[in-house]
Every structure is written in C-alpha cells, then in structure tokens.
Structure 1
Amino acid sequence: MRKPVETLASGLGHPEGPDVLPDGRIVMVETYTGKIIAWSPERGIHDYALCGGGPNACLLGSDGAVYITQNGGTAGAWKAEVMSVPSIQRAWPDGRVEIVASEVAGIALQAPNDLTFGPDGRLYFTDPGDYDANNRSIGRLFALDPDGSGELVEEVGPAYPNGIAAEPDGSLVWVESYDRGVYRKRPGAPSEKIHVLPEGHIPDGLKIDESGNLWITTFMAGGVDIVAADGTPVDFLETGGVPCNCLFVDDSLIITDFGDMTDVPAEAAMEGRLWRIPVGVRGMPLFRGAVA
C-alpha cells in the first residue's frame, strides 16, 4: 500500500513517540537535543521542554503533563553530551521537568523506551537497556500505579522490548526488536508471541486502530507493517525513510521519521522528519492516566 506522504517538519534530531496536546499540537521527543518539541500549523516546530539525556518517547497524561521515557542519553553509538538518569520523567506545560521514577520495585531502570497508559490507569513501559544484539541486556516490562508505586510486570529475557500499546481488555501488545517478534501479554499471563515480522523489518513503535489492527513502524524497512489482532499479516504501508513511531490523528497517521539513513551514526544526525499520511483509518482512543 502506498499513500501520499506530507512532510510537516524536517531537520529533526531523532524524533520519537508523538502524541497530541489538548490544544491540538503534536508533541514528540527529540532524542539528540534532549528536548520535548511540538508542532502546529501556525508555529511549526518549537520547544516545549528541556529534559536532557536521551528521551525516547512521550505520552500525554490526564493531569496535563507529558510523560517521558528517559534512556539516560544513548541511541546506538550516540551518547549525549550531558547524560541523565534512566527514568520516567514528566514535563509540565510551563516547561518544568521532574523525575517520576528511576527505579521500580527496587529495580534500577536501564533505558526506558516506550510507554502507554492502560485502561486501569497504570503507566506501562518497556525497559530494554542499550541496543546491542551481541551483548543483550535483560528486557523488562514495568508498571507504575497512580499513587507512584509500581511493579515488575514481566522479565522477558535477553531481549529488546521496544514499542508498547494497551488494549481495552487490559492486555499489553509489545514488540521485540532483535528477533522481530510481536507479543501480547494478557492480564495475569506471560507474554505470548503472536507474529514475527519479515526479515529486515525491525519493529520500533506501534499503535492500534479502531478495528484492533496493529500498525507497527519498522526501522530501516521504509514503512509500517499492519498486523491483525490475532497476528495475521494484513498489509504494509510504504513510506520510505526510517519510521520510528506513529500516532493516529483523525483518519491520518502521524509518523516520526529518523531520515534517509542506512545506520545510526555516533554523531547527532539532524535529518529526521514529521510526516502526515492520510490512511482513511482511525485509531483506537488512547488511554489516559497520571502518576502522583
């Protein structure tokens, strides 16, 4: 499947994890600058908050804050000039940034990657460590409760749990980048592999449409793999570039793209883009919550 791609912004430094603010602006992280940035038709790209380190994704909370997965300052071979603490952060509309958690249930976080609120109001996130297929960290799924307490939801072995989304029944769907797996974790049960993406389709972020299909941005594959809720392949949306994460807005797909790259360099390559693609499909409404 091919659709026209509209470039909303370019020259971005590893944009990831988009969401929509209450005023309609698109908010996202810019890993290479340690910033949360926003886009609107009137203002274009502009700063929202400075969180430092290496922010990986962001999500609007019901309290009006933007919740951030902070990996500490890494992206492949790239390291931030000023490192931060691997953590979940929160940025307020006035630019204040604070750490919500740097450990959960006594376990220090490694490099939080993606996050989602569940229908139960908890904040779920993946914590894979650094991306190194030859020296794999133990990947974990965590949850933070509204009162600030939390738990280790699952330890998934030497793996790279990346994008994560929540389904209405409380199940979590997450993708694993080393082996290209798509997993579902039902409440009270271990994760179950439901699909393996094609060779070269390294999954990064994902969102769920109103029919329950999974739209998975596949790093270096130049597109978005669409997979049914039961794991059956549905289609592939060709985009070009290196799509990192996505978001449904009305019947369009907003994509954060790394740029026309063949690898992830050690220097901060400011080649990323923000795209809008009319797909004629609406997303499942995202769940919202807050952490004290």
Structure 2
Amino acid sequence: MEFQLAADGLAFPEGPAAMADGSVLVVEIRSGRLVRVSPDGAKTVVAELGGGPNGAAVGPDGALYVCNNGGLEFADVAPDLAVPGHAPADYVSGSIQRVDLTDGSVSTLYDACDGRPLRGPNDIVFDRHGGFWFTDLGKHDEWSRDQGWLFYAGVDGKSLRRVRGGMFGPNGVGLSPDGTVLYVAETYTGRLWAMEVTGPGELAPSPLPWAPGRLVVTLPGHQMIDSLAVEAGGKVCVAGGPDGGITVIDPDGAHEHVRIPGEVIVTNICFGGPDLRTAWITASGSGRLYRAAWPRPGLELAFS
C-alpha cells in the first residue's frame, strides 16, 4: 500500500475528521488547536482549544465534538519523534468540547461526571440516535495510573453517565455497521474488546465479571494500541503497535498489520472521499498526516 504525505509539521496530530470538500480536520494535542488541512496540504487554524484535544467527531448539528484530555507533557526523543507523558503542571481536568465550524467558537459541554472531574477523554463515536460514546483513558504519574472509563452523553450538555469501568487505558472506540456492537481498544494491554449495545447508552452485561466485554483479540508482543475506525464490511482498523501502522482486525479476531514505513507512533485513522476509500492516518510522533487509497470502504459515520 502506498502512503502519501498530506501534511507535516503538525504538533502531535490526532482525531482526523474528513470533510466533504476534500479537506480533513485534525487536532493538535501538543498545541491545543484544531487545524484544517486542505487538499493541497495548506494548514489553517480553525479553533484554539487549549489543554490536549484528542479524538473528534462531527455531531448531529454539524459541530465538531472534541475529547480534550486536559494536556500532556511531551519529550522530543529524536528529531522526528515526540512522545507523550504525564499530565502537565497546569492540568486541571479533561473535558468534552463543542466547536462551531462556521466561526471557530468553542464551548465546554462536560468536564465532570457524578461530581468527579473527567481525567483524560480520548476518543468518541456518535450513534444513530444522536448521542455519543467516549473513552476516558485517565492520567498517570510515576506512582499511579487511573482506571479508565467508558461514558455515554448527549449533545445537550446535561446527560452524561458512566457506563463501564475497570479498563486499563481505554482508547479507540467505534460501532459496528449495524450499531449493535461497540468496540474499545485498550492501550496498555493491546486488547480489542467488543460490547453488545442494547439501547442508546446501554450495554449488555459482560460475559465475565472481571472483563469489560468479549475479548476479540490480544495483539502479540507489547503493542500499545490507540484509536480506531470501522470499515463498511465490519473490520476494525486499530492504529498503533510498536512498528507504526494500522492493524486490521476481523470481528472473529483474525488480523493483519499494515506498516507505515518510517513511523513509530501512529494514532488514528478515518475514512473520507466520495467512496470512503481514502484513509487519513495521523502519525503523531513525527507530526505527519498521511493519505492512502484503502482497499475497502470505511463505514459511513452517523453524522458527517
């Protein structure tokens, strides 16, 4: 597969969202910005978000909804490799933000649930009902690490609830084509979980009391996995791994890895174009955005 460089010089890009005009929106976690990358590679700042904007998705009102992890420290371990770390000294909490794409105005929908601050909201997916699932990966320091949570919320800013906890770094989240299965990628274990959706914001009990859902696969080796996107045929494309690429996982756990030469930290993928066969991939560690002709179409999202 051929990967074309669409843009570079981005400050740890994540959360790609393909637009109808051929551009793609990406957040920059390190700079706290939302940026539009035009088809010719030109970059335009859409909004200043602060903190650490992470996953992003278009909602039912045409606004962009952003998981803001509250900020991260970064270390430049090589000329083309930035690595995220602990929360910065000025960290307060994470949040869910709404960006009006017509004027770049930003508002905060949620920054706490049940009286507890959100720690590190990470990735987001809307369902057909207009609500959204999002993961909270948590924060860590040299002594401790949060347990992660899965939340469900509405765009009204008044309906947020915790749905499932006990996860070790929940990151990527996506829905199956028929909306009956929710997939969650667990960063630190290299696992992909599947959870049965029984209604808006509702999940069936896990088959095992100590597991968040049905285990689809544990990737071999010490693979740190990240965000994901689902194909129209049901395959789950998970970014990450030690060699920088996308792992394509069947619902039964069979998988293959697509390598992106020269990249180490690959964090997200989305699909765009008229046939949804254009894959946009963020290589956050190097600050690059890639474009590739994907062999199969991606799943059409609930809103775009």
TM-score bin (small chain): 0.7 to 0.9
Q: Offset at 1:53? A: 0.9
54 and 219 in structure 1: CA distance in 2 versus 1, 3 angstrom threshold: farther
Distance 2:93 2:144 in 1: 21
Q: Offset at 1:108? A: 2.1
Contact 1:104/1:149 (8 A) holds in 2: no
Q: Offset at 1:112? A: 0.4
Task: State TM-score, norm by structure 2.
Answer: 0.84
In structure 1, the partner of 2:28 is 30
42 and 253 in structure 1: CA distance in 2 versus 1, 3 angstrom threshold: closer
| Deviation by residue 1:168-218 (Cα, 9 ceiling, x = unmatched) | 233210110111110011123232211101213211011111110011111
| Deviation by residue 1:102-124 (Cα, 9 ceiling, x = unmatched) | 12344321110111112332111
In structure 1, the partner of 2:259 is 238
Which protein, 1 or 2, shows the higher relative CO under an 8 Å CA cutoff with sep ≥ 6?
A: 1
Say if 2:203 is the partner of 1:193: no
In structure 2, the partner of 1:247 is 270
In structure 1, the partner of 2:290 is 275
Contact 1:162/1:176 (8 A) holds in 2: yes
In structure 2, the partner of 1:100 is 109
Residues 63-212 of structure 1: pairs in structure 2 closer than 5 A:
63-75=61-73, 76-77=84-85, 83=91, 85-93=93-101, 94-130=103-139, 135-147=144-156, 148-157=158-167, 159-167=168-176, 168-187=178-197, 188-189=203-204, 190=206, 191-212=213-234
**Counterpart amino acid of residue 257 in structure 2:** F
Contact 2:64/2:98 (8 A) holds in 1: yes
Distance 1:131 1:22 in 2: 38
- Greater CA deviation, 132-141 or 105-114? 132-141
Distance 1:134 1:69 in 2: 25
Match of 1:9 among 7, 10, 19: 7
Q: Offset at 1:7? A: 0.1
Distance 1:165 1:107 in 2: 25
Distance 2:25 2:17 in 1: 5
198 and 43 in structure 1: CA distance in 2 versus 1, 3 angstrom threshold: closer
Distance 2:303 2:281 in 1: 21
134 and 16 in structure 1: CA distance in 2 versus 1, 3 angstrom threshold: same
- Greater CA deviation, 15-24 or 76-85? 76-85
| Deviation by residue 1:15-67 (Cα, 9 ceiling, x = unmatched) | 00101234332001101110000111246111110000111121111212111
Task: State TM-score, norm by structure 1.
Answer: 0.87
**Counterpart amino acid of residue 237 in structure 1:** V
Contact 1:87/1:102 (8 A) holds in 2: yes
- Greater CA deviation, 118-127 or 19-28? 19-28
Q: Offset at 1:14? A: 0.5
244 and 198 in structure 1: CA distance in 2 versus 1, 3 angstrom threshold: same
Distance 1:45 1:177 in 2: 30
Match of 2:237 among 199, 215, 225: 215
- Residue ranges of structure 2 left out of the alignment (5+ in a row): 74-83, 198-202, 207-212
Structure 1 runs (4+) deviating above 6 angstroms are none
Provide the identity percentage.
Answer: 30
Contact 2:225/2:239 (8 A) holds in 1: yes
Q: Offset at 1:274? A: 0.5
2:30 is paired with a residue whose SS is helix
Q: Offset at 1:279? A: 2.1
**Counterpart amino acid of residue 155 in structure 1:** G
Contact 1:219/1:244 (8 A) holds in 2: no
- Greater CA deviation, 133-142 or 159-168? 133-142
Distance 1:30 1:138 in 2: 25
Contact 1:18/1:247 (8 A) holds in 2: yes
Distance 2:297 2:222 in 1: 27
Aligned CA-pair RMSD: 2.1
In structure 2, the partner of 1:229 is 251
Match of 2:302 among 282, 287, 291: 287
Contact 2:60/2:130 (8 A) holds in 1: no
